[in-house]
Amino acid sequence: MVSRIIPVDAFDLVVFGGTGDLARRKILPALFRRYCAGQMPEGAQVIGAARSEMNDAEFRAFVTEAVEEFNGNFQYSDEDLQGFLSILFYVTLDALGDGGWSELATKMQADRVRVFYFSVGPSLFGPLAERLHTYGMADMNTRIVVEKPFGRDLETSKALNRSLADHFDEHQIYRIDHYLGKETVQNLMAIRFGNMLFEPLWNSQYVDHIQITVSETVGVQGRGDYYDRAGAMRDMVQNHLMQLLCLIAMEPPSRFEPDAVRDEKLKVIRALDPVDPDNIVRGQYSAEGDRAGYLADVGDPHSTTESFIALKLHLSNWRWAGTPFYLRTGKRMRARSSEIAVVFKETPHSIFDEEAGRHRNILTIRLQPNEGIDLDVTIKEPGPGGMRLVDVPLDMTFTEALGPEAEYVPDAYERLIMDVVRGNQTLFMRGDEVEAAWAWTDPIIAGWEERRDKPLPYDTGSSGPVDALALMHRDGRRWREVRS
């Protein structure tokens, strides 16, 4: 397999919040890896901007540390690093004031793509957009990238959308959800729409149910303040899990183009039924040994925010009526794992005797760890002794199937940032998608507040509260075991 680098023209990329956690851990190391891959053309500039007083040399030292700390096993030479540092600059600037903005404007080169990455809290999105406009940096070549959380309900997300729309067209706004940049998530579309095999079966006639699990082993990790105001529903379900659900459930778009794909995703969100409270289980992790529980982690003994949620959802449309979607996500669980499992129905009739048992095909899309796709198929157990059936996986772990070239899979931020530079919005959320997702989420959260709903405790290292297991057991189904 030959990896293909699509060349791009020289561009200017400004990271507002260039000294922050996200920039240090994800954005700047991702840009460095793209530099090493040869995707930063001659003349490209990366400019960090924040209030901290720093000069270019100090910013380069900051980026050097970030690159050394957050690059995993990625191999690079000192020449690579020095080359990357030479395209880095820094401007001290306040999103809420006027200092630094003229200096930033003078650094912009004419007639080239400008990307402004808003790696700052959402309250600064509007002021940044306004100042880009005021200081003459917002033209048709300008693209802005905004991070989650994109609002905390429908009203705030509408207000955010409006504050950006005052200065930029929708085609200039890239709402990033890094789940959509994962290789396997894009492969989901390749599997569905590049093969004849799956799509005819991809409906309620053949699919018994679909499970989406995103489990983490870590707790709130010093982000208690933010997390306790969000919870698993706002932090994970409204965005990441919803996006995965959309890609699984959407109708085939007419083309692999931004609006064609996003139109279909929007229809999925709009087809979601309101959720019966009996079909939701919320949980909070308990203390274990010397590890504090959720309440101590967030410093509020009365918090009713959930660190775990499981839901059973239904879509009202022809394709999916009658097929439930089970979603769950949580912190401090048994394993770090993200996967989607499409569980097909049993064959309508078994020609084998009872001992052979009844089996089903399961298509598993693994997002982490070990990105890849498995298809469980039923075969005869080898050897004499009659017809005994056994399920074996047709394993498509990318590194094994595609050889050593696939061993380095660019991470989601690398891919998505380069998509912004290329002007491809396919893997970014449109404003109306985000608003539709909040319109579905809001009544669920309002219901908890009205009923003063309290999350159930669950053990660290478990699969969440036992009620989450019951959510499936009562339908005669079970969650797939979470394994790392």
Which of 29, 122, 224, 253 is in the footprint of ligand NAP by CB under 6 A?
122
Which residue lies nearer to ligand NAP by CB, 124 or 165? 124
| DSSP string across 223-288 | -HHHHHHHHHIIIIIIIIIHHHHHHHHPPPPSSSSHHHHHHHHHHHHHHBPPPPGGGEEEEEEPPB
Which of 43, 99, 121, 136 is in the footprint of ligand NAP by CB under 6 A?
121
Collect contacts of 228-231 with beta carbons under 8 A, ≥24 apart.
228/298, 228/300, 228/303, 228/305, 229/152, 229/305, 230/149, 230/152, 230/305, 231/305, 231/306, 231/307, 231/309
Q: Is 51 annotated as a binding residue?
A: yes
Give the C-alpha separation, 289 to 292, whole Å: 8
Q: Please work out the total of residues on this chain that contact ligand NAP, with binding judged by CB under 6 A.
A: 23
Which of 33, 34, 148, 331 is in the footprint of ligand NAP by CB under 6 A?
148
Which residue lies nearer to ligand NAP by CB, 69 or 391? 69
Collect contacts of 442-445 with beta carbons under 8 A, ≥24 apart.
442/153, 442/154, 443/274, 444/233, 444/274, 444/275, 444/280, 445/153, 445/233, 445/234
Q: Please choose, out of 17-25, 186-194, 213-221, 230-238, the segment that lies near ligand NAP by the rule CB under 6 A.
A: 17-25
CB 90 within 8 A of CB 18: yes
**119 belongs to the binding site for ligand NAP (CB under 6 A):** yes
CB 329 within 8 A of CB 213: yes
Q: Please choose, out of 145-153, 164-172, 317-325, 440-448, the segment that lies near ligand NAP by the rule CB under 6 A.
A: 145-153
Which residue lies nearer to ligand NAP by CB, 166 or 225? 225
Which residue lies nearer to ligand NAP by CB, 149 or 423? 149
Tell the smallest beta-carbon distance from residue 47 to ligand NAP (Å).
13
Cβ neighbours around 197 below 10 Å, total: 10
Tell the smallest beta-carbon distance from residue 241 to ligand NAP (Å).
15
Residues 87-116 that bind ligand NAP (CB under 6 A): 93-96
Catalytic residue selected from 240, 314, 349, 473? 240
Active site residue 240: yes
Residues 24-83 that bind ligand NAP (CB under 6 A): 50-52
- In the bound state, the residue with its beta carbon closest to ligand NAP is 20
Going by C-alpha positions, the residue among 400, 318, 398, 411 that lies closest to residue 365 is 398
Give the C-alpha separation, 472 to 82, whole Å: 54
What token pair was written down for 183?
């290789």
Tell the smallest beta-carbon distance from residue 160 to ligand NAP (Å).
11
Going by C-alpha positions, the residue among 188, 289, 280 that lies closest to residue 233 is 280
Which of 17, 219, 231, 372 is in the footprint of ligand NAP by CB under 6 A?
17
In the annotated binding site, the residues are 17-24, 51, 148, 178, 182, 216, 235, 331
Q: Which residues bind ligand NAP (CB under 6 A)?
A: 16-23, 50-52, 93-96, 119-122, 124, 147-149
In the annotated binding site for NADP(+), the residues are 17-24, 51, 148
Catalytic center residues: 240
